[in-house]
Amino acid sequence: MAQFFQIHPETPQARLIVRAVDIIHSGGVIVYPTDSSYAIACHMDDKHALDRIRRIRQLDDKHNFTLVCKDLTQISTFAKISNDAHRLIKALTPGAFTFILDATREVPRRLQHPKKKTIGIRIPNNAIARQLVENLNEPLFSSTLVLPGEEDAMIDPYEIRERLEHEVDLVIDGGVVKYEPTTIISFSGQTAEIIRQGKGQAPMLEK
């Protein structure tokens, strides 16, 4: 049976954030809010928890997951960042963007794109998500909460609890979060390129 924490979306209660981080450290799978949707997440080094997420979402090993990070310094441990990429990410974060970057050796192979050896990186503009990664002090392994057979992420934490209370360890209620996909920016070529326009606006890259 999943635990259910009601956490204030603007001023998260520190004691509940600490309890959520403890659940992550103990191998738990959690559902939490970001600035673009609810997401499902676990500790990045926990293969068993990762396999649970794959099973819940019915994903194959080609699915691109994301590392939710607290800042650029943390990103640089897990992704190769050029000077241009550093400036752009700094200008656009925190925000509703996913950045595709070449992974460093610190990233387990199972988390990388199987052919391109890239990794998705996020610094969301959501107080709960930011506090989770701040307290965890390492990236959160994350995927948008889109259940099998559906096209959009779930938006209501009470419905999420009803659907997943026997599948996950914690549902964080941060209010209803309208699903607006992130804007995806790839740095895998010579220049930054928007490969999906979503909620995040990057006028410096628009043609």
Q: What are the tens digits of pLDDT across the range 67-85?
A: 999 999 999 998 999 999 9
pLDDT in tens, the chain (207 residues): 899 999 999 999 999 999 999 999 999 999 999 999 999 999 988 999 999 999 999 987 767 789 999 999 999 998 999 999 999 999 999 999 999 998 888 776 666 565 678 889 999 999 999 999 999 999 999 999 999 999 999 999 999 999 999 999 999 999 999 999 999 999 976 789 999 999 999 998 876
* Helix (H), strand (E) counts: the chain: 6, 10
* Dist CA 121 CA 130 (whole Å): 14
Residue 8 corresponds to which tokens in the numbers above?
Answer: 């204030």
Three-state DSSP class for residue 163: helix
* Dist CA 52 CA 29 (whole Å): 8
pLDDT number for residue 60? 75
**Exposed, middle or buried: residue 79 (CB in 10 Å: 0-12, 13-18, 19+)?**
buried
Residue 109, Cβ neighbours under 10 Å: how many?
9
- Tally the domains of the chain: 1
Please state at what angle helix 14-25 crosses helix 127-136, rounded to 10 degrees.
60
Residue 190 located in a structural domain: yes
* Dist CA 47 CA 110 (whole Å): 9
Residue 153 located in a structural domain: no
Residue 131 located in a structural domain: yes
pLDDT number for residue 111? 65
Domain that holds residue 171: 3-56+65-140+163-199
Residue 205 located in a structural domain: no
Q: What are the tens digits of pLDDT across the range 14-46?
A: 999 999 999 999 999 999 999 999 999 999 889
Residue 206 located in a structural domain: no
Angle at 1 (CA atoms; ends 36, 158), nearest 5 degrees = 40
pLDDT number for residue 204? 85
Q: Which of 191, 198, 194 is closest to 206 using CA atoms?
A: 194
Residue 108 located in a structural domain: yes
Q: Residue 32 belongs to a domain with what CATH number?
A: 3.90.870.10
pLDDT number for residue 150? 92
Three-state DSSP class for residue 187: coil
pTM passes above 0.95? no
Residue 145 located in a structural domain: no
Asked if 130 contacts 190 with a C-beta cutoff of 8 angstroms, the reply is: no
Question: How would you list the strands of the sheet with 183-186, edge to edge?
Answer: 3-6, 170-173, 30-33, 38-43, 140-144, 66-68, 118-122, 97-102, 183-186, 193-196
Residue 207 located in a structural domain: no
